[in-house]
Amino acid sequence: MLDSLPSNVKQLRELYRERDSRINWGKKKLVNYLRSAGVKIPPLMSFTRAVEMVIELPIHP
């Protein structure tokens, strides 16, 4: 079934997969950073929420 798709649709599917993997990579890095800072992580969290939580962290010199 997927072999019969037009090439532009296949390209869009591949772009989405790449985007998704990059977002997941970034989210994992942010979650690791938050955990190392002692922040409690909610069970379900989006990439945007992870970024917001990092921004909200107090800065210690």
Q: Please report whether residue 1 resides in a domain.
A: no
Over residues 26-49, the pLDDT tens digits come to 999 999 999 999 999 999 999 999
* Element counts in the chain: helices (H) and strands (E): 2, 0
Closest of 6, 24, 41 to residue 53, by C-alpha: 41
pLDDT at residue 60, as a whole number: 61
Alpha helices (H) along the chain: 7-36, 47-56
9: its two tokens: 């649709």
User: Cα separation of 48 and 45, whole Å?
Assistant: 8
| Structural domain count of the chain | 1
pLDDT at 61 over 60: no
Mean pLDDT taken over the chain: 91
Domain holding 45, by residue range, is 7-56
d(CA 38, CA 41): 9
Express each pLDDT in 3-31 by its tens digit: 788 999 999 999 999 999 999 999 999 99
Residue 19 maps to a domain: yes
Q: Is residue 2 part of a domain?
A: no
**Whole-number pLDDT of residue 24:** 95
pTM of the model: 0.74
